[in-house]
Amino acid sequence: MNGIILLIYMVIIVGRGESFFVDITYVESAVAKGAVCLDGSAPAYHFDKGSGAGINNWLVHIEGGGWCNNATTCLARRNGRLGSSKQMAKQIAFSGIFSNKPQFNPDFYNWNRLKVRYCDGASFTGDVEAVDPATKLYYRGARVFVAVIEDLLAKGMKNAENAILSGCSAGGLTSILNCDRFKSLLPISTNVKCFADAGFFINAKDVSGAQHIEQFYNDVVTTHGSAKHLAQSCTSKMKPSLCFFPENMVQAIQTPIFVVNAAYDSWQIKNILAPGVADPHGLWHNCKTDIKKCSTTQLQTMQEYRLEFLKALSGLMSAKSKGYFINSCYAHCQTETQETWSTNISPMLNNKVTIAKAVGDWFYERSPFEKIDCPYPCDKTCHNRIFDPQDNSLA
């Protein structure tokens, strides 16, 4: 999308009242617990209070933003918004799953809604006591997670009737990896469920045949000391870093969980299937910016990726009270923007069911939702992503 179109689009969205700004809150009490961002600063979130019938319902949604896998990449991240609360915007726009209007967010608009800022670089799993004097990096994501939840309990979540841990991308992965931990931190009487948007990253080979993502996650887990905070049912059976992949631990999750993911997740295609290192001649470049520009062979490779994705997802089938919405779009994160969450032109499955409706029906047990789309390009409701060809960022 070019700048002017984006600007017009934003004016329309803001003008229609689809989003509003919410101030940042710093969790200063976390610092004494050593629960800090990569640079040692306090964790933070944006919080819009619930009202009416939603006053005791809590949506804790975790921000995404990739991972840092070694001291070099974590140092690069430390002085930005993904590593330091000092660099975060003081206000962010709430819409989609965060909307406070029933017409845009029918089931959660009056809940307490939080966006927890991502600032550790390991999906809130890290816990290293020592701080390297050379880099001054803190790998403390798992402590941050607990400290944020404790802060919210003190602010009223201890009386929660309903609670959801959700998130998108690396935050969606947090909601899978930390789902049972979240449940264990809440009162036994709270109805707790988890919901992951674009967080089901799979362990697939890249187009050169290398195990790129497996190596990358191995570095993340090693650097951040994440092993002891990953699911024990998994780490007792295989190398801890493999337990960073939902496919290897989701079977044992005890808390109800819902997965929303595009089968051709654009982050996964760009960074798992065809990362730059696996495509030195840039043959995938155009295809990654716009799925319409993929060659027949590339589309074939992506169809195989979809099948691998569905195979990886099969572990979820044995989990109890699960749900899933797997569409055939070229997309990544479909809950945080109004246009993909809940409008009459949003992505839909099963004859006009939006993501918002599928998740709401599942949460309130009005009806189950377990639906996998037919393969690309069958789905006409997709909002397929088109990336700026110059943009090589990972997020």
Residues making contact with ligand NAG (CB under 6 A): 69-70, 72-73, 216
The residue (of 66 and 240) whose beta carbon lies closer to ligand NAG is 66
The residue (of 222 and 303) whose beta carbon lies closer to ligand NAG is 222
The residue (of 69 and 100) whose beta carbon lies closer to ligand NAG is 69
The residue (of 70 and 211) whose beta carbon lies closer to ligand NAG is 70
Catalytic residue numbers?
169, 265, 332
Closest of 152, 44, 28 to residue 89, by C-alpha: 44
Give the separation between CA 248 and CA 351, rounded to whole angstroms. Answer: 32
Report in angstroms how near the CB of residue 276 gets to ligand NAG at its nearest: 10
Report in angstroms how near the CB of residue 275 gets to ligand NAG at its nearest: 9
The residue (of 276 and 360) whose beta carbon lies closer to ligand NAG is 276
Residue nearest to ligand NAG (CB): 70
The residue (of 145 and 216) whose beta carbon lies closer to ligand NAG is 216
Contacts of 20 (CB under 8 A, 6+ apart): 93, 94, 95, 100
Report in angstroms how near the CB of residue 298 gets to ligand NAG at its nearest: 24
Tell me the C-alpha to C-alpha distance, in Å, between residue 138 and each of 29, 37, 45, 123, 308.
Answer: 17, 7, 19, 14, 35
Pairing of strands 44-48, 112-116: antiparallel
Report in angstroms how near the CB of residue 277 gets to ligand NAG at its nearest: 8
The residue (of 74 and 93) whose beta carbon lies closer to ligand NAG is 74
Report in angstroms how near the CB of residue 223 gets to ligand NAG at its nearest: 9
Q: How many CB atoms lie within 10 A of CB 23?
A: 10
